[in-house]
Structure 1
Amino acid sequence: MRHETVGSGREAAFDRTSPTHAGATNKKLTTTLSDLPHPSEIALGEHRPWSVIPTSSVVALLSVDRGNWGTWRCRGIGPAELPVSWFKPASGQPCYYRISDILSWLASRHGELFDSRAYMLDFMRTNLGSNFATSEWVRRMAERDGPVQGSVRFTPAGFKAYLASLLAI
């Protein structure tokens, strides 16, 4: 019986989708802008439309290669980042993004319009009722979430600016 070896075997050692790689997933990472998912394909889980997440969460949410994400950000073709001055320093100096801004960016990559305000108000209407579908209630819900949201930590002034920005949407 003859065994044939295809390649040197080194490919599997570096293939992140290989089942032999520690902590591997079977999902292939997105490496091109044209492979990005449609906003409707994103599973937001516990994230609300106004939630803020760091870079590490964005690349996980979109299954994007982190190096490509950094390249897109440096070239100015990623979603709008929130001002770094709003946040307390964190290791790795992550950028922070509002969920609605990410969805808007994805829609634009697919040639579609996305209304962040309407999306937030629809979320409020669906989850709390018509009486709560206002920008003021979005701001109140964000204020209730507080200045610490998972790994995101706002400065006091940054949190005030963030809340004010929700009224402008």
Structure 2
Amino acid sequence: METSVRDTKKYNLWIWILSIAIPLAVAALFSVKIPGVQRLGFLPPIYASINALTAILLVVGVYQIRKGNRKLHEQLMKIAIGCSVMFLMLYMAYHITSDSTAYGGEGMLKYVYYFILLTHILLSIIVIPFVLITYVRAIAGQYYKHRKIARITYPLWLYVAVSGVVVYLMISPYY
């Protein structure tokens, strides 16, 4: 799907709107609880698995583009974006029905957990516009610009996906 430069500018407006709205909505959810709705405590292992799948898709997608398989790369990246959207929806559903779980580890492990959690949260906010801009440049056929930003997007997005799994594994005993 080729996109004109004018259409790309329209996408850029939506990229910035989403890049601001998504983190604000997620932050607001921590103060919102839907009364009378059953706690969705079964969701964390599901959305952690989606993060793991996203990481796998990213690695395989990069491997495929390096092999010159552009079509498969495109499909894998679209699925990875879909997984990230699904993760976000499930994460939000969990947090509007459940209180946050406190980490119960002690000593150095506690500092490791909070470092990984903090970097995961910060980079998950930062990566939103990178993923969207990278995608728009690809669908616009701006492959040079796409590759240039993808070199930044890929490690950020991969870190967010993998660190999400690590955070889950570290906190899961305390659910």
Q: Which has the higher contact order (CA 8 A, sep 6+)?
A: 2
* Structure having the higher Rg: 1
Higher helix residue share? 2
TM-score scaled to structure 2, two decimals?
Answer: 0.23
Higher strand residue share? 1
